[in-house]
Amino acid sequence: MHKIPVGVLGASGYAGRELCTILNGHPHFELAFATANTQRGEHAFLGGREVRFIAPDDAPLRSAELVFSALPHGASAAWVERAQEHGARAIDLSSDLRPGHTSLKVPYGLTEVSRDSLRGAEVIANPGCYPTAILLSLMPLLARELIRPGSAIVVDAASGVTGAGNSPKPELLFAEVTENYRAYSVGNEHRHLPEMRALVQQFNADADLLFTPHLLPVARGILATITVQLTEELPDPLRIWDEHFAGEPFVEITPHLPALRDVVHRNVVRITARKAAGQRVPTLILLSAIDNLVKGAAGQAVQNANVSFGFAEGAGLPR
Amino acid sequence: MHKIPVGVLGASGYAGRELCTILNGHPHFELAFATANTQRGEHAFLGGREVRFIAPDDAPLRSAELVFSALPHGASAAWVERAQEHGARAIDLSSDLRPGHTSLKVPYGLTEVSRDSLRGAEVIANPGCYPTAILLSLMPLLARELIRPGSAIVVDAASGVTGAGNSPKPELLFAEVTENYRAYSVGNEHRHLPEMRALVQQFNADADLLFTPHLLPVARGILATITVQLTEELPDPLRIWDEHFAGEPFVEITPHLPALRDVVHRNVVRITARKAAGQRVPTLILLSAIDNLVKGAAGQAVQNANVSFGFAEGAGLPR
Amino acid sequence: MHKIPVGVLGASGYAGRELCTILNGHPHFELAFATANTQRGEHAFLGGREVRFIAPDDAPLRSAELVFSALPHGASAAWVERAQEHGARAIDLSSDLRPGHTSLKVPYGLTEVSRDSLRGAEVIANPGCYPTAILLSLMPLLARELIRPGSAIVVDAASGVTGAGNSPKPELLFAEVTENYRAYSVGNEHRHLPEMRALVQQFNADADLLFTPHLLPVARGILATITVQLTEELPDPLRIWDEHFAGEPFVEITPHLPALRDVVHRNVVRITARKAAGQRVPTLILLSAIDNLVKGAAGQAVQNANVSFGFAEGAGLPR
Amino acid sequence: MHKIPVGVLGASGYAGRELCTILNGHPHFELAFATANTQRGEHAFLGGREVRFIAPDDAPLRSAELVFSALPHGASAAWVERAQEHGARAIDLSSDLRPGHTSLKVPYGLTEVSRDSLRGAEVIANPGCYPTAILLSLMPLLARELIRPGSAIVVDAASGVTGAGNSPKPELLFAEVTENYRAYSVGNEHRHLPEMRALVQQFNADADLLFTPHLLPVARGILATITVQLTEELPDPLRIWDEHFAGEPFVEITPHLPALRDVVHRNVVRITARKAAGQRVPTLILLSAIDNLVKGAAGQAVQNANVSFGFAEGAGLPR
């Protein structure tokens, strides 16, 4: 059976490797090439197959019908353009083409939200890992205009270290991370904020966002804890999420508290909502968990590729 | 030199062991006995000395001038009373005698806040670990009435597993906790909430508290991330903390982001405050870190004992 | 397509859960029931499906054509017999029926060694996790009688904590295992020794075994470091392993040093051999890594079931 | 009270920081300067005090009466010489001056073995971390000539990642080390072997050494598992260790199995010995645990400095 040849740019990073792993087991795509800069010439065993990283300049863009870019922010957009010039569709995992980062109107690949705009799309901006966890869990409230005008949505989230990439930095050494925990980008300074704000505005929600990320001593996974004030008391909040995401194969609404363990190595988001007692304003606590490398990066990227090419949306994806 | 004989009830738990460790190196106190229930008869090497756990009923209460109770909530108050009947002062690490849990007016041992009421105190209710981290960081705002009336103070905090004690429960096994992270007691259900509310009310703050704890894959340490709306914009927020805690040996105000690593095995709280950008209401993010077993339990208990007996407040305490 | 109905006894332990996970994705077997004792009535999400644990006494043995027993040692053999009386084939993951533990001649499911005896077998004794890693790596030397007569084979091995099961014991709590490492069963006292000795004798090797296991602060994986003296210097030792295991899909011979990371969640053993410099007797260091729950337990059990029923040996198994 | 001014070269590495931590709490030494290369100009909070790292060329060698060098192997010896030329005593933590690495006869600071040669010594070669754990545990057998002639001493040891230093290397990133375990320098290739061989020869033992180190997912600690064949059966092996190390404050002989947890942050070695059952040659398993940064580096270095200057051997050292 003919498979669609696919290239991965920036394949040696954690997201790039996860892309190769998924693509090597995909029924309709096949890995045509994988580029890496410092690791050019090296091999890795990914998804049951040996992958050889080639230099970016050696990438046979012409041979691919689809290119995923897991290149660093700033460097990615130019390669996406180049891939398109060679006739390939492109999915950009960097922030370069996401809402809030560019004035271009590139379809934003938060699949469950913008599925229609992704069918046949030539280029897709794949969401950040934090925005995926956070925006999906907020969606039922945004769509129903249930967020209290003038309030602040307080998001505290924690991520495993693969979210910081695999460039060797002293603060990411094992001996620095084990038995440790800390916040970073405190004060609303994180690069993922613009795309979250853009989506909140798109739904006309008159609320501020306050986002504080933390670094966990785990390899993978994001848990977001979201405090949101409502326009009214909801007698059975979870019902709204059940309705909103009915039939979605990659969204798990649960009365239990989601844990990283429930979602790692899976292309799902797992969400619950709980009422907060003792508040004068009706308030919910949302908890949302994903694997930052799967639903938060490579998995969602392949999910978007499936939609773009008209394949079954879950083809090749771990559930 | 004469040392004051001290008993520890419930000495085999994590807080009890930390008490023995500190007491075995203390210049003015000496461990007279240590009780344990299921571990009675066993030995442990704590603070450079062998400690033998005796059965609670064998505790020679009469021999102690001071008793620390690290017994479980519910079981502790009766033992504290018994110790007092035998003429000993008592420091209760359980929640039994804390504000919000009893109508008795027992001095609350948040040392930096209530130091005056602790001098010569016959009994002291030692604060919970989360309240220690959270209340100390809020204190400058509470004392200056800078918290916006009608607002909610949103506290997301994460603790190492020693906070859950050392009774073997399946969900605390290594294989369940490693590479995992999850919230618990979501929706304002945590046992530490009443004492936090009591203190906030004591300072006449008209604000709700919303507290969501999380379980970290680390042994020790608490980091609290606190979002608080203000009555006014503060041009240099950290200055308020510097002023409020000037001269306090166990409070570290820092422009850096505190990490668990900075505080474990130390009797300190480490605090910073950052302005949140992009909020229509002036808002601060406070970050506060402690070792849950030291400043959050045994260390603060000994600090309180030092104050009660008139010793140097830092005697025997790790900085 | 008709699938063979399969029961899992002792399904709530780590090996039992891994069995359910694999079976839920198997092309030819389907999970008919899963029993658990203390967790009876509870649910778990395993291999993409909800599994409900039923009480052992409610197990519909009659409905299964194959039964896996992951029951504790001592309790397992009786259930295996019961399953056989009801007409099912049985694979016993306990040590009850392994060589060295019983005088019965039950086929020993070290698949790559005893494949022929497993075809159509009504009952199979599945090997222990340590013996799987250790014996497979020794096999080329045993088969070629290259181990020096009178010598001792020194095996130091380290295992993740799932090897110790999920009954809550104090020494397996996260706070006791993290940042720790220790040996156990030192002095040749481990329960896995008899089956290793039996195999070594079966190959007429005149060598002692000395086995020291250690507990690693990881969830999964075993690495065995084996020092073995030879009858002669081998110019290119790895060639012997390459030859011996040629065509074996689940044995990876590598010039690199195997790491746990290479094998977790996979049904493979990964082996290398290195000459030891500076020894008067020709000596090799073998390194052998497996996932204790997959190739060391559930994966190999399903591999054996595949052989017994005549399916493709790798059906349903993660590589 | 006058304190002896001390300099630390290479102070920003893990061993260098541990030196600063210990020296900042020492009763007779005080830190005069601390050098670092890439971290020059930065500050660290070590042992309760702020330490500022200065550039190596700015080191006021003249101001120090004692210099510790924690510089890399190869670079250290020249600085030790320079320090001596400026009139300071020097303790070299690198391998440059250790037996097997140089023909110079520099006192080897395995304190419990060579204490007499260290009194007043102008320069001391501080042992490697692995040799400290391994040689100390072998000493009673070496001194009594109980090791079987012609045999191989098989040493499998595992170390926390601080043993590999804090230069950022990809393989030391948290996400690469967590849930992983692997051997390295397999085949008798480790840099610590020469000094171990030199000591074994010094005691006229006619035995080979076979040393396989492993990397543990922990920050600190070494556990060595040593298999040694004897000239005769020892009825009560532990008695020999008790005798040999009687009165040694930093050697703990125990009937229990030592764990990393027992020794981290302490300047001790903890040793046990167990008979191996089922061996035709009398064989012992020795287990020896240290903190690689304390007894295995900075702690032993300060212990040696105490001996050199005639202070109480345990002054300033954590037990």
List all residues of chain B from 99 to 128 with a beta carbon under 8 Å from chain A: none
Q: How far apart are CA D57 and CA C83, in angstroms?
A: 78
Count of C-beta atoms within a 10 Å radius of residue D6 = 27
Residue C319 touches partner A, C-beta closer than 8 Å: yes
Nearest to B173 among C174, C218, C220 (CB): C174
Cβ within 8 Å of residue A46, ≥6 positions away: A17, A20, A21, A24
Q: How far apart are CA C180 and CA C158, in angstroms?
A: 13
**Per-residue pLDDT tens over the stretch B269-309:** 999 999 999 999 999 999 999 999 999 999 999 999 999 99
Total number of residues shown for chain D: 319
Nearest to B179 among D48, D178, D262 (CB): D178
* pLDDT band with cut points at 50, 70 and 90 for residue D319: confident
Partner-chain contact D278 C214, CB within 8 Å: no
CA distance D173 to chain B (A): 15
Partner-chain contact A257 B184, CB within 8 Å: yes
Note whether residue B119 is domain-resident.
yes
Residue D141 touches partner C, C-beta closer than 8 Å: no
Note whether residue A316 is domain-resident.
no
Write the CA distances from A241 to A253, A272, C224, C230, integer angstroms: 7, 8, 49, 66
- Mean of pLDDT values over B67-76: 97
Note whether residue D251 is domain-resident.
yes
CATH for C210: 3.30.360.10
Partner-chain contact C278 D209, CB within 8 Å: yes
User: What tokens does B313 get?
Assistant: 């407040």
Q: How far apart are CA B67 and CA B208, in angstroms?
A: 36
**Per-residue pLDDT tens over the stretch D240-256:** 999 999 999 999 999 99
Q: How far apart are CA B102 and CA B96, in angstroms?
A: 7
Partner-chain contact C168 B166, CB within 8 Å: no
Partner-chain contact A158 B150, CB within 8 Å: no
Q: How far apart are CA C32 and CA C59, in angstroms?
A: 9
Residue D181 touches partner B, C-beta closer than 8 Å: no
List all residues of chain C from 220 to 239 with a beta carbon under 8 Å from chain B: 220
CA distance B87 to chain A (A): 41
- Mean of pLDDT values over D105-130: 98
Q: Are D20 and D46 in contact (CB under 8 A)?
A: yes
Q: How far apart are CA D280 and CA D229, in angstroms?
A: 10
Same domain, C10 and C89: yes
Nearest to A179 among C45, C179, C262 (CB): C179
Partner-chain contact B152 A181, CB within 8 Å: no
Tally of domains in chain B: 2
Instruction: Please identify every stretch of chain A with a pLDDT value under 70, giving residue numbers as ranges.
Output: 1
**Per-residue pLDDT tens over the stretch B199-218:** 999 999 999 999 999 999 99
Same domain, B135 and B109: no
Measured between beta carbons, which residues in chain B are less than 8 angstroms from residue C166?
A: 170, 173, 175-176
- The catalytic position among B129, B205, B287, B293 is B129
Partner-chain contact A172 D174, CB within 8 Å: yes
Quote the longest CA-to-CA distance of chain B.
62
pLDDT over 90 at B243, yes or no? yes
Same domain, B71 and B185: no
Q: Are D186 and C255 in contact (CB under 8 A)?
A: no
Same domain, B272 and B135: yes
How does DSSP classify residue D295? I
Substitution target from D167, D171, D174, D264 for chain A, most A beta carbons within 10 A: D174
CA distance A77 to chain C (A): 34
Size of interface A-C (CB pairs under 8 A): 8
**Per-residue pLDDT tens over the stretch D173-196:** 999 999 999 999 999 999 999 999
User: What tokens does B200 get?
Assistant: 């906030």
Same domain, A224 and A79: no
Phi-psi region of D143 (alpha: psi -120 to 50; beta: other; left: phi over 0): alpha
Q: Which residue has the tokens 């690469």?
A: D176
Residue D153 touches partner C, C-beta closer than 8 Å: no
Q: How many CA atoms lie within 13 A of D21 on its CB side?
A: 20
Task: Give which of D256, D266, D279, D259 is closest to D216, Cα–Cα.
Answer: D259
Q: How far apart are CA A41 and CA A52, in angstroms?
A: 6
pLDDT attached to residue A319: 85
Instruction: Give the percent of chain B with pLDDT over 70.
Output: 100
Q: Are B70 and B10 in contact (CB under 8 A)?
A: yes
Q: How far apart are CA D181 and CA C159, in angstroms?
A: 9
Same domain, C97 and C179: no
Q: How far apart are CA C42 and CA B66, in angstroms?
A: 47
Q: What is residue B312's three-state secondary structure?
A: coil
Query: What is the extent of the structural domain holding C203?
Result: 129-292
The pair phi, psi for residue C98, each rounded to 5°, is: -80, 155
Count of C-beta atoms within a 10 Å radius of residue B180 = 22
- Mean of pLDDT values over C136-157: 98
Partner-chain contact C175 B161, CB within 8 Å: yes
Same domain, A55 and A148: no
Task: Give which of C186, C248, A150 is closest to B279, Cα–Cα.
Answer: A150
What DSSP string describes C29-71?
EEEEEEB-STTTT-EEEETTEEEE-B-GGG--GGG-SEEEE-P
Same domain, A69 and A100: yes
The pair phi, psi for residue A60, each rounded to 5°, is: -80, 75
CATH for C47: 3.40.50.720
CA angle D310, D311, D313 (to 5 degrees): 105
Same domain, C92 and C170: no
**Per-residue pLDDT tens over the stretch B25-54:** 999 999 999 999 999 999 999 998 999 999
Q: Are D107 and D118 in contact (CB under 8 A)?
A: yes
Q: Which residues of C are catalytic?
A: 129
pLDDT attached to residue D61: 95
Same domain, D145 and D213: yes
pLDDT attached to residue D1: 67
Q: How far does chain A reach from its first CA to its final CA, in angstroms?
A: 24
Q: Are A133 and A260 in contact (CB under 8 A)?
A: no
Label residue A208 exposed, middle or buried (CB < 10 Å: 0-12, 13-18, 19+): buried
CA distance A319 to chain C (A): 6
Note whether residue A74 is domain-resident.
yes
- The catalytic position among A93, A97, A129, A286 is A129
Note whether residue C318 is domain-resident.
no
Residue C198 touches partner D, C-beta closer than 8 Å: no
Note whether residue D277 is domain-resident.
yes
Partner-chain contact D45 B178, CB within 8 Å: no
Note whether residue D153 is domain-resident.
yes
Same domain, C15 and C34: yes
Same domain, D29 and D178: no
Instruction: Give the percent of chain C with pLDDT over 90.
Output: 97
Q: How far apart are CA D253 and CA D248, in angstroms?
A: 10
